[in-house]
Structure 1
Amino acid sequence: MTSPSPADEALLETVQRQTFRYFWEFGHPVSGLARDRHDPHDARGDDVCTIGGTGFAVMAIIVAAERGWITRAEALARLRTIAGFLAAADHYHGIFPHFMHGGTGRTIRFSRKDDGADIVETSLLIAGLLCARHYFDGDSAGERALRGIIQQLWLEAEWNWHTRGGRELLYWHWSPNHGWAMGHEIRGWNECLITYLLAAASPTFPVDPEVYHRGWANGREFVNGREFFGTRLPLGPDLGGPLFFAHYSFMGLDPRGLRDRYADYWEQNVRHTRINHDYCVANPRGFAGYGPDCWGLTASDDHAGYVAHAPNEDTGVISPTAAISSLPYLPEEAMRAMRHFHGPLGERIWRDYGFTDGFSVGHDWYARTHLAIDQGPIVVMIENFRSGLMWRLFMQAPEIHEGLRRLGFQSPHLVA
């Protein structure tokens, strides 16, 4: 795609800035953590904060400071509040829970046995904090203090604890009450590449590279190689799965030129996105509204609940975050969708915190909710398209360089 037109550039700015308000204005008033969801008709869950979504909030706040929507001092103050709160909050071998009470720092269980450590949510948090460590690189006492707290959180995270005593695999959950009872193995391909990278990069509690090669890369749906709608998919389930696979790990990790023995990860993400787009255009199930200007399947709220929408799990619901957060991969197609969402559909889905979480033209259903894990990628991936800011920050970390080398990756960011 050539440089965006002035009208498209203005739209990018509008969407980013309004979506950022979710994290700034709706951040928890005590801790600054990202609340899990906003529902204008139900405030009962306003103390439920998401650890992964808070990692996205950290990145969004950096974008806002860089763009001048808030001052650097305001961003620093909010991030010191967040980091300081986390340093005193519940954690388990340095790993945080999925949900946390934004006023007390106590764990809110995600399910009956999921009441402890969530290593994937923690990896999304740490990725954001490492970006902040490199953005706030000044000599002031405030910036030094922020870096110090972030370093403490990073060094205290016991990634190798989640190998269950040295197995060649990471496990998603550990509970102080139920131990490893959930038994959720983290195997690829999905959104968890960032988890394995940080686990390998840890200066204090690293995992052996074989955990990556024998665990992550040994999943049943890791290598694919088949064609869908004329596009060969290197990795992942048939038809690619939900688009957050191409977003969550790559909000900081730069996929451009990133490769290992298994794949070229820019190619992987572009092809996954292309298949998702082409599926929606072909619309084999005949859902109303689908087409070149209305596409994108990923996890979001749904007329029947919450669903990880994908071509093989299609309920007729389009999630605006799916196409918009894919802007680096398919810029022309993503811009076309964004114009449609903001223009013809804007009256139904454009609100104070940006686009609502999903909609279905066929079911005449339009979400009233916003979710942190869907709003965050919109702000960050638009910025990566516009300037590459978060990719530059995350890839500055020397520990990330070491982790990539340990796992056998190549990247233009790795210098000899």
Structure 2
Amino acid sequence: MIKIIVSFLIFTFLGCASSADKPNTSIVVSPPATALTDEELIDIVQKQTFAYFWDYAEPNSGMARERYHPNGIYPENDANIVTTGGSGFGLMALVSAMSRGYITKEQGIARLNKIENFLVNADRFHGAWSHWIDGNTGKVKPFGIKDNGGDLVETSFLAAGIITVREYLKNGTKEEQLLAQKYDTLWKGIDWEWYTNNQNKLFWHWSPNYNWDMNFALEGYNECLITYVMAAASPTHAIDPVAYHQGWARGGGIVSTKTKYNLPLILKHNGAEEFGGPLFWAHYSYLGLDPNQLTDQYANYWDLNYNQVKIDYLYCIANPKKYEGYSPNYWGLTASYSRNGDESIGYDAHMPSNDKGVISPTAAISSIVYTPAESNAFIRNLYENYKTDTWGVAGFYDAHSLQFKWTAQRYLAIDQGPEMVMLENYRTGLLWKLFMNAPEVKQGLIKLGFHSGKYNF
């Protein structure tokens, strides 16, 4: 949650309001003459969302921009900032797009070569990349005063994408196999062990100027499970499993006995132990990590995520703050752009315990693997009834509020990426299959004590 608070402060500072972000005067539009099937609608959303990582990627690096503003108005020097974690999601999106024919294999390979060339030359800190990178130079763009070095969590999101690309290409043409080897080299260069700081836990940050001053240990539960999985899976710099059990799982203290709406929370959500955290906690780690039949001594991970999403859904239906529009067709709270009291744009980690009347489309859309009926109902409602205000060049805009008749007509990589990836996993399971069948991933999970009925370990 500390990282989210920092994000909020930064985005509030950067979030100057524009005419495109001010309250809307007209919201409801007529539905199309011929109703789309669910499959047709999902394909439209997935393809349009992919544009974020294709048409609106940072041009020099090929990486995902941190944000894209269709109106072209950015804070100074902000348009070329690329995001490490969002680019990891973007790598998975590229694999999905190639598999679907949204782009040709040749186009995808060219973009993947550009990204690899950028990453191999970008600043790294004991193998980890920074949260933000200047897309023109490859130099670190500080996320905060002391956050100017390696960001292990963002790097783990990127590493999951790297592994997925490698698995997709490794049995292809000679050119594809060579590119797969280059991505494999990137992954093997991450020194996960360094980021334990000689303790039985992983740490989020290390800075060449401030060393370990940020002192942010990765302790569960939040979005960081994948960081421990990747760290255990490394063939070159793996952590000892004790770091997972003592650090992440807090020596067993991660387990929760609380319930909400008769649904067990299963694990203690950091700072959100009554309802669970923002829904991206059920998305980021699980874009590649398949929660179906995945268990360890602490949780059944399908139940964990399904319950979190369903609690969020039921909270929105209960709507204790009486916000306009909240319903079975209009729900989903997670971190996204948000509306400040003065109608300017900020950023906030929306969740039941921090409900600001702002719905984030990525929340319900990226949850489609868990709640297909509820997520499809949300997608159809937004597309058919509120398309004029919520739909743009890269899919649904980042945030919307019927309460305030307001839309943040902007996009964030870390919100568009999970939509694209989870839609693919819902339709085919492709990205789950690629990631989970990577030999190191299986070995890392086994090392940490995980079992998968689906993947037979």
TM-score by length of 2: 0.88
Picking from 382, 401, 410, the partner of 2:451 is 410
Q: How much does 1:16 deviate?
A: 0.1
Aligned to 2:288: 252
Q: How much does 1:247 deviate?
A: 0.3
1:35 is the counterpart of 2:65: yes
Picking from 26, 44, 47, the partner of 2:80 is 47
Q: Aligned runs of 1:94-243 on 2, under 5 Å?
A: 94-164=127-197, 166-218=198-250, 222-235=254-267, 236=269, 237-243=273-279
Q: Secondary structure at the match of 2:295?
A: coil
1:353 is the counterpart of 2:389: no
Range 37-46 or range 299-308, more displaced: 37-46
Q: Distance in 1 between matches of 2:262 and 2:237?
A: 43
Q: Distance in 2 between matches of 1:220 and 1:40?
A: 46
Q: How much does 1:142 deviate?
A: 2.1
Q: How much does 1:153 deviate?
A: 1.1
1:328 is the counterpart of 2:366: no
Contact 1:38 1:371 in 2 (8 A): yes
Q: How much does 1:223 deviate?
A: 2.0
Q: Which amino acid aligns with 2:264?
A: R
Q: Distance in 2 between matches of 1:136 and 1:38?
A: 29
Contact 1:51 1:122 in 2 (8 A): yes
Range 261-270 or range 340-349, more displaced: 340-349
Q: Which runs of 5+ in 1 are unaligned?
A: none
Q: Distance in 1 between matches of 2:252 and 2:86?
A: 28
Aligned to 1:362: 403
Q: Which amino acid aligns with 1:31?
A: S
Q: Distance in 1 between matches of 2:164 and 2:351?
A: 30
Q: Distance in 2 between matches of 1:77 and 1:273?
A: 37
Q: Which amino acid aligns with 2:115?
A: I
Residues 298-328 of structure 1 show CA distances to partners (whole Å, capped at 9, x for unaligned) of: 0000012100110011111000000000001
Q: Which amino acid aligns with 2:60?
A: V
Q: How much does 1:221 deviate?
A: 7.9
Q: Distance in 2 between matches of 1:413 and 1:197?
A: 17
Q: How much does 1:208 deviate?
A: 0.6
Q: 1:60 to 1:396 in 2, by over 3 A?
A: same
Contact 1:200 1:406 in 2 (8 A): yes
Q: Secondary structure at the match of 2:128?
A: coil
Range 140-149 or range 317-326, more displaced: 140-149
Picking from 61, 65, 68, the partner of 2:101 is 68
Q: How much does 1:334 deviate?
A: 0.5
Q: How much does 1:144 deviate?
A: 2.1
Question: How many residues are matched?
Answer: 411
Aligned to 1:280: 316
Q: Which amino acid aligns with 2:59?
A: P
Q: Distance in 2 between matches of 1:46 and 1:313?
A: 29
Picking from 301, 309, 325, the partner of 2:337 is 301
Residues 99-152 of structure 1 show CA distances to partners (whole Å, capped at 9, x for unaligned) of: 001111000000111000000000000101101101112453321221121111
Q: Which amino acid aligns with 2:308?
A: H
Q: Which amino acid aligns with 1:400?
A: V
Q: Distance in 2 between matches of 1:92 and 1:144?
A: 27
Q: Secondary structure at the match of 2:82?
A: strand
Q: 1:128 to 1:393 in 2, by over 3 A?
A: same
Q: How much does 1:76 deviate?
A: 1.1
Q: Secondary structure at the match of 1:56?
A: helix
Range 77-86 or range 136-145, more displaced: 136-145
Task: Quote the RMSD (CA, aligned, Å).
Answer: 1.4
Q: Secondary structure at the match of 2:143?
A: coil
Aligned to 1:264: 300
Aligned to 2:427: 386
Q: Which amino acid aligns with 2:94?
A: I
Q: Which amino acid aligns with 2:386?
A: L
Aligned to 1:375: 416
Q: Secondary structure at the match of 1:343?
A: helix
Q: 1:6 to 1:392 in 2, by over 3 A?
A: farther
Q: How much does 1:40 deviate?
A: 2.3
Q: Distance in 2 between matches of 1:49 and 1:273?
A: 29
Identity %: 46
Q: Which amino acid aligns with 1:133?
A: R
Q: Distance in 1 between matches of 2:162 and 2:122?
A: 16
Q: Which amino acid aligns with 2:161?
A: G
